[in-house]
Chains A and B, each alone.
Chain A
Amino acid sequence: MLAQLLLVLWTLAKVLAITLPLVIAVAMFVYWERKVIGWMHVRMGPNQVGPLGLLQAFADVVKLLIKEIVVPTNANRFLFFLAPMLALVPALAAWAVIPFSDGLVLSNINAGVLYLLAMTSMGVYGIILAGWASNSRYALLGAMRSAAQMVSYELAMGLALVCVLVLAGSLNLSRIVEAQGGGLLHWFWLPLLPMAVIYFVSGTAETNRAPFDVAEGESEIVAGFHVEYSGSAFALFFLAEYANMILVAFLASILFFGGWLSPFPSTWGPIGQGSFFWLLTKAFLLAFLFLWFRASFPRYRYDQIMRLGWKVFIPIALVWVLVAGLLKYFHIVTPGA
């Protein structure tokens, strides 16, 4: 009994060891986003709070936490408060199977990819319920758009994952990284190049980021599903969105860019060895793309989003599943050591 209690406590400690840095990473990522977009707009970005404005994000958090939460008239109170939690919990739970380095993973389960799909597909509830419970037209419209968009892009994303696991021969994320061993050219981005693109773009759409942010579409529906949220409830949505962005960046690095593996040959000493540092670098570069997209592209129209998802991505992904199968069958791509 005591041993089991200790096990539970130890697991809790591990969970905290992942979520706390994640929350801090979200804060720093928000700061980085504002800086980068500022530079791209030829502005300064935040530079007042703390050295170089580094504490800006924390100041924002404190501001949000001490603000009042306004509940709209006739809103469904229970669901109104449940929704932000439903958005955040899957976003955090998905991190349980992310391998940060060889063996450094909270739960090394066999069906890791499926678990990820399950968790990301549940995030949509937070958004739908937020939109519905707010008793606001804008919020409901935003929720509808976002839910339709997430359900649609999940298919292309799932098919991209199928390609990866066909080549890796496993659903376990650590196995998938190990299957990419052998250097830069053995990573799956090369045989699955269209899938890597589709995965990342679908990930952008899944997280409702620009240019797929019609769910928020401030020019038409003010702020979409979270228009009625304020204070810490809004902060939870914010946290969930950015945690999901970072998750997509991590996943893309793990699935297509060799995870913790080093791009250099192993004979090159320390920089040739796989480590958490490499995963972080790759994820950072990919996460930077999110910001780049946001500063560069105008927003898609809603029907264009649907067309891209259903008529472009899904057919390409279906064909590439076949290609991946052939690559595997003829041993053109073999899982590395």
Chain B
Amino acid sequence: MTIQLLAFYFFAFFAVLGALLVITLRNPVHAVLSLVLTFFSVACIWMLMQAEFLALVLIVVYVGAVMVLFLFVVMMLDIKVAAAREGFIRHLPVGIGVALIMLAEMVTLIGLRAMQVAPPPNPAAMHGESNVAWIGTALYTQYLLPFEVAAMILTVGIVAAVALTLRHRVGVRHQNASQQVAAVARDRVRLVSMPAERGDPGAQP
């Protein structure tokens, strides 16, 4: 048993454990954290498969950004835990049924066969490149168009978010930074030279 195999079982255990906790924990914040644990463990498994780009991007994007925002929302919302869990037991048999069917599918269609055939060679290693460089080359040559279309989808996301949430409220005082920076002393203060006046101290009453 090599260290890699041990590490795989270690991470796989935590991935499955985290996934189970996501649906069984009562506290939504704990559930989100379990999801983070699952993502992290899966990233580690990918790392073991030498897919370092996918592993690290999973952490940067999902663990580092998406789940943080998700955690934000969960913390801000006052989720009624009891209400959310209503029907959990009732729907459990259906859920287990679906899960079993999916498992059976995967085992029969993919699992058993995958155990018999050797895994395909690592394309990056065949080209003598690192995984990141290989993905980068593929992304910017063969998959250039999908890459750019994905950018358009993200643009739609921004436009939609702005269109659905931006409200111009009246009476809000915004700081206009460029106006502030553009201010010159000459426009604000005028220095006038005038002769010093010397009043007669004795004239005061």
* Chain A interface residues toward B at CB < 8 A: 4, 7-8, 76, 79, 109-111, 114-115, 117-118, 121-122, 124-125, 128-129, 132, 140, 144, 147, 151, 154, 171, 303-304, 307
Contacts and interface: CB of A to CB of B under 8 A. Distances in A.
Contact of B65 (A110, A128, A154): A154
Contact of B59 (A110, A122, A132): A122
A132 B65 contact: no
A114 B29 contact: no
B153 interface: no
Contacts of A307: 177
A125 B36 contact: yes
Contact of A140 (B3, B57, B68, B75): B75
Contact of B68 (A117, A151, A171): A151
B57 A114 contact: yes
25 contacts: A4-B3, A7-B3, A76-B29, A79-B33, A110-B132, A111-B53, A111-B56, A111-B132, A114-B56, A114-B57, A114-B60, A114-B132, A117-B60, A118-B59, A118-B60, A122-B63, A124-B68, A128-B71, A132-B75, A140-B75, A151-B64, A151-B65, A154-B64, A304-B177, A307-B177
Contacts of A121: 59-60, 63-65
A303 B173 CA distance: 12
A202 to B, nearest CB: 15
Given A124-B68, A144-B72, A171-B132, A114 B52 contact: yes
Closest 4 pairs between A and B when the two form their complex, measured CB to CB: A121-B64, A118-B59, A114-B56, A110-B130
A79 B29 contact: yes
A117 B2 contact: no
A147 B64 contact: no
A290 B95 CA distance: 54
Q: Main secondary structure on chain A at its contact with chain B?
A: helix
Contacts of B71: 125, 128
Contacts of A114: 52-53, 56-57, 60, 132
B160 interface: no
B175 interface: yes
Interface residues of B, number: 26
A132 B27 CA distance: 13
Contacts of B53: 111, 114
B179 to A, nearest CB: 13
Contacts of A132: 29, 75
Nearest to B67: A125
Given A114-B52, A124-B68, 11 more contacts: A7-B3, A8-B3, A110-B130, A118-B56, A118-B59, A121-B59, A121-B64, A129-B33, A132-B75, A140-B75, A303-B175
A33 to B, nearest CB: 28
Interface in B61-78: 63-65, 68-69, 71-72, 75
Contacts of A7: 3
B173 to A, nearest CB: 11
A10 to B, nearest CB: 13
B56 A117 contact: yes
A122 B53 CA distance: 17
Contacts of A117: 56, 60, 64
B64 A124 contact: yes
A117 B55 CA distance: 12
Nearest to B2: A4
Interface centre among A76, A109, A121, by most chain B C-beta atoms within 10 angstroms, is: A121
A117 B61 CA distance: 10
Interface in B161-191: 175, 177
A107 to B, nearest CB: 11
Contact of A147 (B52, B57, B72): B72
A144 B131 CA distance: 36
B74 to A, nearest CB: 9
Nearest to B64: A121
A109 B60 contact: no
A234 to B, nearest CB: 22
Nearest to A158: B60
Contacts of B132: 110-111, 114, 171
B43 to A, nearest CB: 8
Nearest to A148: B72
B63 to A, nearest CB: 6
Interface centre among B53, B57, B59, B68, by most chain A C-beta atoms within 10 angstroms, is: B68
Nearest to B57: A114
A180 B114 CA distance: 46
Interface centre among A7, A76, A122, by most chain B C-beta atoms within 10 angstroms, is: A122
A140 B25 CA distance: 22
B52 to A, nearest CB: 5
